[in-house]
Every structure is written in structure tokens, then in C-alpha cells.
Amino acid sequence: MLRLDINLLFTVLNILIWYILIRKFLFGPINALINKREAAIAEQYAKAQQLQEEAKTEKDKCALLQASIEEEKAAAAASARDEARAEYDRIVAEAAECADQIMEKTRKEAELEKSRIVGSAEREIRSIIMEAAGASIASSMTGGEAYDQFLTKVSET
């Protein structure tokens, strides 16, 4: 059985002293170190949260910037397309005008050439008629012979 004597009192007192000493010198610094570690971890967690929020803000800014760049790109492409269409229309109109001028010039040259050829043919016919008339007068050919000679000269020319 358990006896209450002075040894028990000294044992209890000894345990209490050891408890106080261990708590003060062993657990005190360990608890302080644990508290410092927890504070450092909390500070790093807060920094990570802040960096995550900043990254989200920057991501949103980049998305807005990208959207504005896409809009500018689309506007520039539409503008370039409109300018190209206008330039195309201008070039086509200029080409059509140039083609009309060339056709008109060609038509005038053809008419001039036609009138020159007709005039030349008329002069040749007149000269042949004059030769035939002169030959008919100079010789005493009958009308049929003079006509045949005239047709021969016409077919030669």
C-alpha cells in the first residue's frame, strides 16, 4: 500500500521542480522557435496570397490588352481591306478609261486607214478608167474588147 511520508513529499517536490525547469529551459525555447516558424509561414502565406492577387490582376489587364489589340487588329485589317478595295476600283476604272481611249484611237485609225484605202482604190479605179478610155479612144477596139481589157487590169490590181 501507499504510505504518506516525507519521501513522497520530496519526490513530488522533485518532480515539480524538474517540470518547471524543463518547461522553462527546454519547452520555452522550443515553443518560441515554433511560434517564429508559424509567424514566418503565415507571412509567406500572406505574401503568396498577395502575389496571387497581383498575378490575377495582371492576368485581367493582359486579357483586356489582348482584347483591345484584337480589336485594333480587326479595325486595321478592315481599313486595309477598304483601302485595297478602293485602290482596286480606282485601278479598274483607270484601266477601263485607258481601254476606252485605246479603242477610240484604234477606231479612228481604222476609219482613217479605211478612208485612205478607199481613196487609193478610187484613184486607181479612176486611173484605170482613164487608161481604158484613152486606150479605147486611141485604138479602134470594139466595146467588148475594151471592157475585157478593163476587167483584166482591174483584176491585176
Q: What is the pTM of this model?
A: 0.42
State the DSSP H helix or E strand holding residue 102, giving kind and residue range, or none if neither.
Answer: helix 28-138
Task: Please check whether residue 149 is in contact with residue 141, taking contact to mean a CB–CB distance below 8 angstroms.
Answer: yes
Query: Rounded distance, CA 116 to CA 157, Å?
Result: 16
Residue 3 inside a domain? The answer is: no
Nearest Cα residue to 108 out of 119, 98, 100, 96: 100
Residue 134 inside a domain? The answer is: yes
Residue 77's domain comprises: 8-156
What are the pLDDT digits (tens) for 27-81? 888 999 999 999 999 999 999 999 999 999 999 999 999 999 999 999 999 999 9
Residue 1 inside a domain? The answer is: no
Residue 146 inside a domain? The answer is: yes
What are the pLDDT digits (tens) for 1-36? 566 778 888 888 999 999 999 988 988 889 999 999
State the total domains in the chain.
1
